[in-house]
Amino acid sequence: MNDIAIKVENLNLKYIFINSMGVKKYIANILKKNKSRTKEVLALTGVSFELEKGKTLGIIGSNGSGKSTLLRVLAQLYTPDIGKVALYSESVALLALGTGFQPELTGIENIYLSGLLLGMSKETIDKKINEIVEFSGIGDFVNSPVKTYSSGMKARLGFSIATNIEPDILLIDEILGVGDEAFKKKSNNRIKELIESNKTVVLVSHSVAAIREVCDCVLWLHKGEVVKFGDDVIGITEEYRNCLRNSK
């Protein structure tokens, strides 16, 4: 197991939705002894794979296929109903739009908060703070509350924090396409630097080009199930593209 960063075995997870209803309908259901107000939806079914340390996994699939859900299971934000997830690492960071920031705090304050939550000392964050701010490119906005940021600014700052803090496993959900071309290039280069330093990356993206550029292997999900998994990145992504074309 020394070479394995992530091991997922027979992962199953379901969402439970509570059906909304008016007072009259709710009372009528009680009188009919029909008390069921929930609906179960399978989000992931039988998902299994292993990822070696220092490798980058791209996760592809149409909307609703379970990509973001799988990332959140890996980040230990969701608990699976069945199956096992083993992470052989000291630290894991999830980078996704709208997650991880306290909106009332400034960018600087959120940098320190994120670092402390990942187990870093204040002294270590002090040494990295200038590089984090510079890489994000948000300038003086770093002293403003995050609630005033655009989604692109949040994504750039979040990416800069997560990659400068350098967790053993970095989970990225659909943010590499955010920002101008210069920032996209910087982001891809930073991912490559992490890979070269033996960090493990899991990347969710709708961009086949991005997957092909930085990933060593790919996992194709459809309706919560694995369609293909392997290191034939070109072959699997091309088959995925053809499937999308044929479904239109």
- Summarised one tens digit per residue, pLDDT across range 140-195 is 999 999 999 998 888 889 888 888 887 889 898 876 666 677 887 888 788 788 87
Indicate the angle between helix axes 107-117 and 151-165, nearest 10 degrees.
Answer: 40
| 220 in Cβ contact with 240 (< 8 Å) | yes
CA 159 – CA 164 distance, rounded (Å): 8
Task: Fill in the DSSP letter of residue 62.
Answer: -
Length of the chain, in residues: 248
In contact, 221 and 60? CB cutoff 8 Å: yes
Q: Which residues pair with 50 in a beta bridge?
A: 7
Please indicate whether residue 243 or residue 20 has the higher confidence score (pLDDT): 243
CA angle 237, 243, 248 (to 5 degrees): 130
| Average pLDDT estimate for 70-83 | 94
Q: Can you say whether residue 99 is alpha, beta or left, with left for phi > 0 and alpha for psi between -120 and 50 degrees?
A: beta
Domains and their CATH numbers in the chain: 4-89+168-247 (3.40.50.300)
CB 151 within 8 A of CB 159: no
Q: What is the pLDDT of residues 203-245, one digit of tens each?
A: 998 889 989 988 999 999 999 999 999 999 999 999 999 999 8
* Residue 7 pLDDT exceeds 80: yes
Packing angle of the helix pair 181-196, 151-165 (nearest 10 deg): 20
